[in-house]
Amino acid sequence: MLELIRVKIIKRRASSRQDMGKWFGEIRPRIAEILEIAVKNSGSLTSHLGGNGNFQINDNDDTTPVAVVDLTAKTCNCNRWNLTRIICMHAISAIYWRHEDPLSYVHDHCKKSNQKKIWQNVIYRIKMERYWNKSELPPLLPLKIVKQAGRPKKLRCRVVSEIPANARKFTRIHRIGVREGVEAVGSGIGGGIGELEGVGAAGSGTGGSGSRRLRELQDQELEDWGAGGCGSCRIRNWRIGEREGVGAAGSGTGGG
């Protein structure tokens, strides 16, 4: 891509230098055409001198001022001369009132002499890579890979369209909060999650059906919480240990 850009610039600069040799005057052809149109339109205007190069421009059929031109500062309140640096028809009317040549007020960037300075520098063509001189210096090598701090990523970042709609995202705070609630129910304190509150209070210190119902609700809650998540293995191991603790406690109370 860079090679294509370089070739286009070379061709453009070469063609611009050739086109300058075909100019008949000192003004760029496009600028000369714009000035000719402005000279024709200035015939319907009348100039009134105000002093120090300041002119008021009116229409031939109306006394209302159309524009104000300052030939000393080379400005016009129509702003065309100020922005493009190309003489507008109001300025040409004032210039003709002073019997001067409009070409003397043309900006330098529109003249042939200034265009030659712009395009005089040449971008030379280069040889193909196989004709380059070989260097005796060692070849350039890529930088060494440094292991970054932190846990490395194993999965790539997915876009929104790749994430399933039913996916659940568990944060550390969420896991700790749910686990503490389930432990509270298992210990018989009476706290817990949702519907486990009443069962935890009723089943504390009793055996039989109350303990079994408590364990069923705990298992159902853990399955709903850990289904499809990265912490399912941790939940399963914790559930086995919790069952052993409940079984040991139930053996002394006649439940289990």
Q: Quick check: 76 and 89 in contact, CB under 8 A?
A: no
Whether pLDDT at 230 is above 70: no
Q: Tell me the pLDDT tens digit for each residue of 50-59.
A: 888 899 999 8
Whether pLDDT at 149 is above 70: yes
- CA 115 to chain centroid: 37
Distance CA 98, CA 87 (A): 15
- The number of residues in the chain equals 256
244 to 49, 222, 256: CA distances (angstroms): 110, 16, 10
* Residue 144 DSSP symbol: P
Region of residue 239 (phi > 0: left; psi between -120 and 50: alpha; otherwise: beta): alpha
Q: Tell me the pLDDT tens digit for each residue of 245-256.
A: 555 444 544 444
Distance CA 252, CA 118 (A): 101
Banded pLDDT at 6 (limits 50, 70, 90): confident
User: Which positions ≥6 away from 191 have C-beta within 8 Å?
Assistant: 181, 184, 185, 197, 200
Q: Tell me the pLDDT tens digit for each residue of 172-205.
A: 544 444 444 444 444 444 444 444 444 444 444 4
Query: In the chain, where does DSSP find H-type helix?
Result: 2-20, 29-41, 80-84, 89-97, 112-119, 172-186, 196-203, 209-226, 232-251
